[in-house]
């Protein structure tokens, strides 16, 4: 999933028209890590915004949550919210692909085998 998000960002960056001048940073607020917690926000003149807050996790990881957005060529805004914690990186956006629904009901004998395996594992 992380690779997909990064690939999407690289594709968007590569497809964006190249400019001769640097993009101005309109806002750049950062709270340096203290006790494992941190925060940052930035915004650029071309419509990119990113906000993230992080804190120490219970299993030694850093938990983070945030949102980033950017403008498409038609002027619409893409927004991605995310959480990164002991369960991994989880992003949400209407533009991210969604797995198709399972095409048919699961047969009963398969469900029985799954239940049997769970009973064996718990024994």
Cβ atoms of residues 64 and 38 within 8 Å: no
pTM: 0.63
Domain ranges within the chain, ordered by starting residue: 2-122
Closest among 22, 4, 12, 6 to 77, alpha carbons compared: 12
Task: Please give the pLDDT value at position 20.
Answer: 80
Q: Where are the alpha helices (DSSP H) in the chain?
A: 2-15, 108-122
Mean pLDDT for 87-93 is 94
Identify the residue with better confidence: 103 or 65. Answer: 65
């Amino acid at each position: 999933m992380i690779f997909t998000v990064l690939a999407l960002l690289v594709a968007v960056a590569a497809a964006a028209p190249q400019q001769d001048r640097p993009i101005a940073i309109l806002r750049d607020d950062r709270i340096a890590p203290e006790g494992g917690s941190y925060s940052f926000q930035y915004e650029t003149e071309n419509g990119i915004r990113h906000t993230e807050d992080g804190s120490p996790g219970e299993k030694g990881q850093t938990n983070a949550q945030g949102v980033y957005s950017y403008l498409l060529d038609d002027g619409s805004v893409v927004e991605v919210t995310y959480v990164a914690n002991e369960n991994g990186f989880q992003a949400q956006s209407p533009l991210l692909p969604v797995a198709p629904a399972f095409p048919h009901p699961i047969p009963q004998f398969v469900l029985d085998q799954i239940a049997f395996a769970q009973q064996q594992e718990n024994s």
